[in-house]
Structure 1
Amino acid sequence: MSETERGVALVTGASSGIGLVTAQALRRDGYRVFGTSRKPMPDTADGITMLICDVIDDASVQSVVEEVLSRAGRIDLLVNNAGLGLIGGAEESSVAQVQALFDVNLFGVIRMTNAVLPSMRRRGKGRIINIGSVLGFIPAPYAAYYSAAKHAIEGYSESLDHEVRAFNIRVSVIEPAFVRTVFDQNGIKPDSMLNEYDRARADVDALFRDVMPKADLPAVVADVVVKAATDARPRRRYTAGKAAKQISLLRRFAPADIFDKSLRKQFRLPV
């Protein structure tokens, strides 16, 4: 399949991890792929064109979208992947730090989406895929703000999907569980650490260190992105990986008190 048969894809945060592997998977599936990173990067050996974009900057977002439209003439698929993690007690982050996190994880998605929608509406076609998380539908002790941003992505994406379906544009969320590189490479620490949370924070940090070596590879998420991008009748939500599917089923069908105890046990909190 030639690179024009599938269409043109734009993937944010494509310098490493889920973004890079997703860009590569889409390229193999026949898309012409543009990836973004905050710093200059050479095009990849497998044909991904890398462009500079900072999703917290309106001008940068508009510029990269215009660049892709200038080079390729259209954008058929936007994958909003750029994001940050934050591990710590909710009380340990200043409002300014939380605003900075949301500026990337939520408002960055909104900026990119608003920038591509006009061209998609004109063509009467498009797909927007947002990389969410199981933390978008379950609570996450010591990741409250990351979880809150992912919860917001869920509501935003589903609402937007209803709005743009009339233009033959569909919006989906991908919901992975633990994936290597998400927290350990893109995580930040609270800016107001409190001694009272030292023990619990250390336990959660240890949990992530234990889980990450056994976590899903980014390719698991990338494969689901390709499926969501090419499904004739796309779903609004796709879990990615065995653990994510199990968590989703448990959240839907387990009694609330059982789910609560299971989650606290998972996060090494007193039951």
Structure 2
Amino acid sequence: MNSKIAIVTGASSGIGEVTAEQLARAGYKVYGTSRRGAQGQSGKRAFQMLALDVTSDESVAAAVNEVLRLEGRIDLLVNNAGFGVAPAAAEESSIRQAQAIFDTNFFGTVRMIRAVVPHMRQRGSGRIINISSVLGFVPMPYMALYSATKHAVEGYSESLDQELRTQGIRVSLVEPAYIKSAFDANQLQPDQALDEYRDLRVGLDLRVKEALEGADGPAVVAKTVVQVALAATPKVRYTSGALAGRLRFLRRFAPAGLVEAGVRKDLRLDSQPALRKLTTAVPQ
């Protein structure tokens, strides 16, 4: 039997790279993508790299058409490409920065899906896995823009799965919590930082680094992706890792106020002097 063909975006490092490797071990022929393609990549991989910029319609079309030219089919698409903004107040990111993160995290996913779905529909089969986050269903103060992109991916994916089931195509979400990878090390800084939030940003940055020290590695997410890819009857949502599972349970069954209080306690928001200074400065 010929190998099934998979495309994994954002596969140069972290979750994408490990996912592509594990899919290859599971029997898929995998094409990973990144903006630079195979340039600057060292070491032997179990998959081939292609150049692809998910913010460009032309680049997306060229990469998908290249895989179809080489293989004649695409059985699985894993949308992983994305970036985040370091913890900061929502007002510290410009509209331009907000548009940039949506263009990659959300519209990049939409572009890829629009490019592969016509082919999958014609074949009457296919699977799409979108890497989301617990921030797609749990509030995260000072990561509002990233959280908003993941909420958008979740709503889009749920609706799309309902549309495409009758075409033999399923869409699933994989939702990890903290993952120790290059993704967090390479987050953008807010482009309109305000002095009023400086101390608070420092405190949040330290707290996130603490959480990442004990976090799962990318292999946990990759294992979930392979599970979804091979499932006979996939679900729409899969949490990845123990913490993500607990958060999903709490979000489903606990009162909203209790969840919000837990988030604030975990981030130590109400104990930070900078936050108290901000809140007491607001006119009542």
TM over 0.5: yes
Cα distance between partner residues in 2 of 1:236 and 1:186: 29
Name the residue aligned to 1:211: 211
Structure-to-structure mapping, 1:120-135, within 5 angstroms: 120-135=120-135
TM-score by length of structure 1 reads 0.96
Question: How many angstroms does 1:137 deviate by?
Answer: 0.1
Instruction: Tell me which of 19, 24, 31 is aligned to 2:21.
Output: 24
Contact 2:37–2:52 under 8 Å retained in 1: no
**C-alpha contact 1:86 1:183 (8 A) present in aligned 2:** no
Shift of 1:111: 0.3
Q: Is the 8 A contact 1:85 1:182 kept in 2?
A: no
Aligned residue for 2:232? Answer: 232
- The separation in 2 between residues aligned to 1:217 and 1:110, in whole angstroms, is 27
Structure 1 residue 177, shift from structure 2 partner = 0.1
How many Å separate the matches in 2 of 1:43 and 1:265?
42
Shift of 1:44: 6.2
Partner of 2:165: 165
**Which of structure 1's runs of 4+ aligned residues deviate more than 4 A?**
none
For 1:251 and 1:134, locate their aligned partners in 2 and report how far apart those are by CA, in whole Å: 10
| 1:36 counterpart (1, 24, 33) | 33
Residue 118 of structure 1 aligns with which residue?
118
Unaligned runs of at least 5 residues, structure 2: 272-284
Deviates more, 1:196-205 or 1:105-114: 196-205
| Alpha-carbon distance between aligned partners in 1 of 2:176 and 2:203, rounded to the nearest angstrom | 22
- Verify the 8 A CA contact 1:43 1:50 in the aligned structure 2: no
3-state secondary structure, aligned to 1:188: coil
**Structure 2 CA distance for aligned equivalents of residues 232 and 186 of structure 1:** 36
TM-score normalised by L of structure 2: 0.92
Name whichever of 231-240 and 206-215 sits farther off.
Answer: 206-215
| C-alpha distance in structure 1 between counterparts of 2:183 and 2:11, whole Å | 16
Alignment of 1:89-104 (within 5 A): 89-104=89-104
1:86 is matched with: 85
Deviations 1:74-107 (A, max 9, x none): 0000000000011211010111110000000000
CA distance in 1, matches of 2:45, 2:92: 43
Q: Distance in 1 between matches of 2:111 and 2:15?
A: 20
SS of 1:50 mapped into structure 2: strand
Distance across 2 between alignment mates of 1:56 and 1:259 = 35
Distance 2:84 2:214 in 1: 19
The DSSP-based 3-state class of the residue aligned with 1:174 is strand
Correspondence for 1:8 among 2, 5, 10? 5
State the number of aligned residues. Answer: 268
Report % sequence identity. Answer: 53
CA contact (8 A) 1:12 1:37 kept: yes
CA 1:178–1:86: 2 relative to 1, 3 Å: same
Corresponding residue for residue 51 of structure 2: 52
Which amino acid letter does the alignment assign opposite residue 161 of structure 1?
D
**Residues 173 and 96 from structure 1, CA distance in 2 versus in 1: closer, same or farther, beyond 3 angstroms?**
same
2: CA distance, partners of 1:174 / 1:40: 24
RMSD of Structure 2 on Structure 1 (CA): 1.3
Which has the larger Rg?
2
Deviations 1:184-232 (A, max 9, x none): 2331011000011112211110111111121111000000000111111
Question: Does the CA contact (< 8 Å) of 1:130 and 1:172 recur in 2?
Answer: yes
> Residue 63 in 1 paired to residue 62 in 2?
yes
Structure 1 unaligned blocks of 5 or more: none
Give SS of 2:141's match: coil
Distance of 1:50 and 1:43 partners within structure 2 = 12
